[in-house]
Amino acid sequence: MLLAAGDALSVLAPLAPAVLAPVGTAVGAIVRDWLVRGARARLSRADLGLASAQVAACFVSGLCAGGGAVLIALCVAGFAGGLSTWSSLAVECVGWWRERRWGLIAFHLVGVLGLSFAAFAAGRALGGGAV
């Protein structure tokens, strides 16, 4: 009986990321929404909430990248993947483009990308991975 249960678990083990990553993604998406809505309410700048979510996600991703399969599935593919997003940024870029707000586009597509890259590298260094 126990042997059969052990066999079943070993068969299911490769499927763990498929379960953990979506769960982490759901938590990350809720935190992202909270950051965006918080930035909109306090600073009237929802895009700063989005930027902070992107940078934080990259830091978490770098920090946990050197971990085990479970940590990577839950925190890297899951939480960081859900906390960060390309789709909202892309939609906002269309609005900024229509308003000719080139500074905002440059800030998000170049500045935030640079910050996110640095945050990922810092996370990797802190987490013990190679930079």
What one-letter code names the amino acid at 90?
Answer: A
126 touches another protein by CB under 8 A: no
DSSP for 31-99?
A: HHHHHHHHHHHHHS-HHHHHHHHHHHHHHHHHHHTTS-HHHIIIIIIIIIHHHS-SHHHHHHHHHHHHT
Q: Residues touching another protein: how many (CB under 8 A)? A: 65
Classify residue 120 by its DSSP letter.
H
Work out whether 74 is an interface residue with another protein (CB under 8 A).
no
For another protein, the closer of residues 6 and 70 by Cβ is 70
CB of 5 to another protein, least distance (A): 25
24 binds another protein (CB under 8 A): yes
Least distance from C-beta 3 to another protein, angstroms?
28
Buried b (16+ CB within 10 A) or exposed e, 89-110: beebeeebeeeeeeebeebbee
Closest to another protein by CB, 6 or 45: 45
CA distance 69 to 25: 16
Answer yes or no whether residue 88 interacts with another protein by CB under 8 A: yes
**Where along the sequence are the contacts to another protein (CB under 8 A)?**
17-18, 21-30, 32-33, 36-38, 40-41, 44-47, 49-50, 54, 57-58, 60-62, 65, 76-78, 80-99, 101, 104, 109, 113, 116-117, 120-121, 124, 130
